[in-house]
Amino acid sequence: MNEIFQEATQIIETGLNSVLEHPDIVLLNILSFFVLVFFVRRFMWKPVTEFLDARQKALTKELDEAAQEREIAKALQEKSHKDYEAMKEETRVLKEKLTLEAYKQQEELITSAKNEAKRRLEQAEKDIEFEIIQANEQIKQSIKEVAFAAAEKIVKREIDENLHQDIIDDIVQEREA
């Protein structure tokens, strides 16, 4: 390890001695460095900095535009979400309204059907009563005919037919009461 340090020190001393042995080369290197810095500063520095500034401005502008577009997209997303929620609520209200209307129509149909059934039942009762009255009238007429025939056979004498009819009507009415 010691040998490596000795070799490194020897190389450094040799390099320093060579620099000191040729001061004109060192001076020329220093002078060329300052000339290079001058030319770079004079001719290259301004265009490079302008390019970098323009690039920085372009990047800043793009970032600002991207931020604006992000804000616009966020606003559109919020608006779309609000519109969606509004449409969802409107749909719910419409569904409730249609459901209520359907129940109302159902109730109206049921009420209408009940009324129609009641009306038909009442009509049937009236028809039955009418038929009962007609049947009673037919029975009365049959009873009159039978009574008249019986009376004719029982009473062989001559009776006025109108008087006979009145007597039979009185008998029938007494039976009904």
What confidence tens digit (pLDDT) does each residue in 102-148 have? 999 999 999 999 999 999 999 999 999 999 989 888 888 887 777 77
- CA 109-114-117 angle, to 5 degrees, is 125
Separation CA 155–CA 165 (nearest Å):
14
Average the pLDDT over 78-88 and give the result: 92
Average the pLDDT over 36-63 and give the result: 87
Cα 148 to chain center, whole Å?
A: 85
DSSP class of residue 170 equals H
Q: Is the pTM of the predicted complex or chain greater than 0.85?
A: no
C-alpha pair distances (Å), 150 with each of 6, 168, 171: 173, 11, 13
Residue-averaged pLDDT of the chain: 83
pLDDT for the residue numbered 85:
93
